[in-house]
């Protein structure tokens, strides 16, 4: 059950946090994992851990916001593996600010990574999936795809776009046996979150972490592994009847 044996998986932003957890779980389930990250060392560290545990993995340096970088990465993947069964569009960045405190450069930066990155990687993957008769695309959206959260204007914009791209791809390629879904987490405690808090709330780190935890009715943030296990289900053959769906993983936030 939930075996990915014989499948080739690509995880963007696989060097840390949620992406690292997904890549690790996929490797444990016998997938050949290509770990894409703009950070070479991070991608190699994830790959080394998968291989040390007996899995198959390869690090590929990729800036998902750059079309040439994405094209080169997917040429490497297809040239090495010969097929592409699973794409997890996980790479993303965050931003704090309402519309008045969102400079144009920051807005464009969020768009390039969180929206354009999903577009470029999906555009690179779909032709290969069509040729081989199917595949699975999983996008990382957010609960802000559904609801408003204070001071997350640009980030919310980007995750709303991820949700609608998910549904569009699912409809366009359902007859080609390509499934496309997204996961919509609430706050997940990762090194990214810790760094984000340090940068944006210096001197208030502990207080802000407690506030972020309390936002979820369960009283804590999620873990990367919890996201990874849902990703495993959605990318496995056990979810073969699921497409075009957005799965909240929110500790009860949307029930408030």
Q: Does domain 8-186+222-248 have CATH number 3.40.50.720?
A: yes
Instruction: Report how far Cα 163 is from the mean position of its chain's Cα atoms.
Output: 12
* Residue ranges covered by each domain of the chain: 8-186+222-248
| Known active-site residue 111 | no
Q: Are 203 and 214 in contact (CB under 8 A)?
A: no
Question: pTM for the whole thing?
Answer: 0.96
Catalytic one among 119, 155, 173, 215? 155
Per-residue model confidence as pLDDT tens digits over 117-166: 999 999 999 999 999 999 999 999 999 999 999 999 999 999 999 999 99
pLDDT at position 196 over 90: no
Burial 52-74 (b: 16+ CB within 10 A, else e): eeebebbbbbbbbbbeebbeebb
Average pLDDT taken over every residue of the chain? 97
User: Given pLDDT bands bounded at 50, 70 and 90, which one contains residue 192?
Assistant: confident
């Amino acid at each position: 059950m939930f075996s990915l044996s014989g499948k080739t998986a690509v995880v963007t932003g696989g060097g840390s946090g949620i992406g690292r957890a997904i890549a690790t779980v996929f490797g444990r389930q016998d997938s050949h994992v290509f770990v894409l990250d703009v950070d070479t060392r991070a991608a190699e560290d994830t790959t080394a851990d998968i291989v040390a545990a007996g899995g198959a993995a390869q690090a590929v340096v990729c800036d998902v916001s750059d079309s040439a970088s994405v094209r080169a990465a997917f040429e490497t993947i297809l040239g090495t593996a010969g097929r592409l069964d699973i794409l997890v569009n996980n790479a993303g960045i965050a931003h704090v600010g309402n519309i008045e405190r969102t400079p144009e450069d920051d807005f464009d930066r969020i768009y390039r990574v969180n929206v354009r990155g999903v577009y470029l990687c999906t555009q690179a993957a779909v032709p290969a999936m069509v040729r081989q008769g199917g595949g699975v695309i999983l996008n990382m959206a957010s609960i802000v795809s559904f609801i408003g959260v204070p001071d997350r204007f640009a980030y919310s914009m980007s995750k709303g776009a991820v949700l609608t791209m998910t549904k569009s791809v699912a409809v366009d390629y359902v007859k080609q046996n390509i499934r496309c879904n997204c996961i919509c987490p609430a706050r997940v405690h990762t090194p990214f979150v810790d760094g984000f808090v340090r940068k944006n709330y210096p001197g208030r780190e502990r207080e802000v972490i407690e506030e972020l935890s309390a936002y979820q009715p369960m009283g804590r943030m999620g873990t990367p592994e919890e996201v990874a296990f849902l990703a495993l289900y959605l990318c496995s053959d056990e979810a073969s009847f699921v497409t075009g769906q957005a799965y909240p993983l929110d500790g009860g936030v949307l029930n408030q």
